[in-house]
Chain A
Amino acid sequence: MGVTLDKEARQGLTLLSPTALYALLMLAAPLAMVVTFSFWTQNYLDIDTTLTLDNYREAWSKPIYQVLMMRSLRISLMVTVVTVLLAFPIAYYLSFHVKKRKALWLFLITVPFWTSYLLRVFLWKVILGFNGVLNTALMQVGLIDEPLTFILYNSNAVVLTLAHAWAPFAILPIFVALEKIDRSLLEAAEDLGDGPVRRFFRITLPLAMPGVIASTLIVLIPTVGDFITPRLVGGTDGLMIANMIQIQFGKANNAPLGAALAISSMVIVAAISLVIYLVGKKMGGRTE
């Protein structure tokens, strides 16, 4: 790399630096603290700053943490799959079949954001609860005799709530990727003998892959660490790793263990994201 930067590069760096500094201060610094904490030890009231791997040993060996981590991954993968599978047809319809007022449609997709996340989770509680909207309705039409209990306070409820919350985030990247596909490519594929289904799998989907990957990562990464939704609708077997991290930092008064759990889950999520990214890149072929 050259030592001297051209004018454009300097301009770019200048524009970037406030944000970069902010990110460094607000993200990198706390992260560094968490990493440091994870190598320390909590002694009742004070902290032993001798470096040790004990926290990681505990985090990776105790069954409770393994169970919670696996459950977190399972739930968030399910959320991701459900969300992306539901988002794709909506994005597809929006891109290929809506001719007029695309902007209005996009605007409508963001409507769920108008209420707070917490409120939306509470609404699901109202809908799915023992005396909730769904149970009452089903009982009144006579489909069930007593309220369904498997719909709230378990991991299904967490998946449902999270999928709903993250849907708009998943739709938009896929929509953008689909919009970018040159329509003459689809005509060319048809001209070369492909029916609609083959064409979809050979042209549309590979070219939409960058959007699908983006959606997957956007949904997967934050949901692994979500703790409000499992706390409110997850019951006891819907609890996730983030709830345990919160407990360690709070009630259990073991910040170093909490930090080790947080770093571990971050590394695992990063590894999974990398795999998804690479697989997706391979599936999408050489697009750049």
Chain B
Amino acid sequence: MTATDTNDIIVLSDVTKTFGTFQALKGINATIREGEFFSLLGPSGCGKTTLLRMIAGFDEPTTGAIEIDDKPMAGISANKRPTNMVFQSYAIFPHLSVAENVGYGLKTRKMPKTEIAAEVDKALEMVDLRGLGNRSAHELSGGQRQRVALARALVMKPKVILLDEPLSALDKKLRDQMQVELRSLQQSLGITFILVTHDQEEALIMSDRIAVMFEGEIAQLDSPEGLYRRPRTKRVASFIGVMNFLSAKLTREDAETLTIQIDALGEITVPRDIAPEGLTPSEVDAIGIRPEMLTVLMDDTDTAERTVEGSITGTSYYGDMTYYEVKLPGDGDPVTISMRNTAGRSVLPAGSKVSVGWGAESIVLFE
């Protein structure tokens, strides 16, 4: 793969990494576009951080090539790459002030002092830390340290900013706020961001595209919506959000459609194009359906495209939402159904017999 399109800022070609006998990355191919917010998402040990460190230049691929901005990066050390990193630990230099931290890289570039001061002020303003330049590192809160780390990368005006789980040390509220801020900052600056995270929600909220990684391989590279709505494998489906799996088998196929017999829901016919590319129709053994695609019908006025009878085995009340465990016909496990608690919708206790509504277009097929 080569960067034929000038919009490709990073091209990864068959990148592998082996530590001793452990193969951390097994041939990564991906292209990251200029100006996009790209996430590497996966459980710990999937190789996402290794990949990020190789882009930064802290590690070299065992085989394969990394190109940044149309230049091969083999043998180019981290200090000569057009990337800057926001470390998981933030790596704020403890012996320097906030301003000295942010201006660190500019000093290396031998920029005049007055210009450094101006650039540092601008960067601090960008991350909402105006006037804190003289603070020392230990006087900062976790959130502020995170912002300093970000400003220190931004001030370098790199082609790509690499973020290694930057929000994992913050508490939930601050994290939610930073997710939105980071996203809007990235959009207004137009710098390519590559985020490593194990938090699927974080990846969905912030990214233009996400590469889901398992065991050193990219399982699926897609937009957040694509990943959520059309996960290609069961593993991706259960990693991103909640997915109900119902056993099913193919009963008929023609050029345009597939007819599938779902144990719990009955037979449906769906267009072929909802299936992922690698699907072998005869091997279908289950379909997926998201909790919010199922509806517990409260009374006769509630209607749905199709209905099936079930009984509630468990109820979890979350305030804005209620999650029901509902046993459907057949011998599968109960499915999870999420219901928004809108006005007039009551919370049903376990044991209630209910009608469950669903639609054919909401089912997902896997490779």
Residues of A bordering B, CB below 8 Å: 182, 184-185, 187-195, 198, 202-203, 206-207, 284-288
Contacts and interface: CB of A to CB of B under 8 A. Distances in A.
Given A285-B96, A286-B95, A286-B136, A191 B56 contact: yes
**Which of B94, B136, B138 gathers most chain A CB within 10 Å?**
B94
A206 B91 contact: no
Q: Which 6 pairs, one residue from A and one from B, show the smallest C-beta to C-beta distance?
A: A192-B105, A285-B95, A188-B91, A193-B108, A184-B91, A286-B136
B87 interface: yes
B172 to A, nearest CB: 24
B79 A184 contact: no
Interface residues of B, number: 28
Contacts of B137: 286
Nearest to B107: A202
Contacts of A185: 91, 93-94
B95 A207 contact: yes
Interface string B85-106: 1011101011111000000110
B69 to A, nearest CB: 16
B85 A188 contact: yes
B95 A192 contact: no
B109 interface: yes
Interface in B30-73: 56-58
Given A182-B91, A192-B105, A288-B138, 20 more contacts: A184-B87, A185-B91, A185-B93, A187-B85, A187-B87, A188-B85, A188-B91, A189-B93, A190-B79, A191-B57, A191-B83, A192-B79, A192-B84, A192-B156, A193-B156, A202-B104, A203-B93, A286-B95, A286-B97, A286-B138
B341 interface: no
A168 B308 CA distance: 80
A207 B94 CA distance: 8
B78 interface: yes
Given A285-B96, A286-B136, A193 B79 contact: yes
5 contacts: A187-B87, A194-B79, A206-B95, A207-B95, A286-B136
A205 to B, nearest CB: 10
A288 B94 CA distance: 8
Nearest to A185: B91
Nearest to B149: A188
A193 B136 contact: no
Contacts of A191: 56-58, 78-79, 83-85
Contacts of A287: 94-95
Nearest to B88: A184
A192 B158 CA distance: 10
Contacts of B78: 187, 190-191
Contacts of A198: 108
Nearest to A181: B94
B75 to A, nearest CB: 15
B77 interface: yes
A193 B103 CA distance: 12
B290 interface: no
Interface in B107-154: 108-109, 136-138, 152
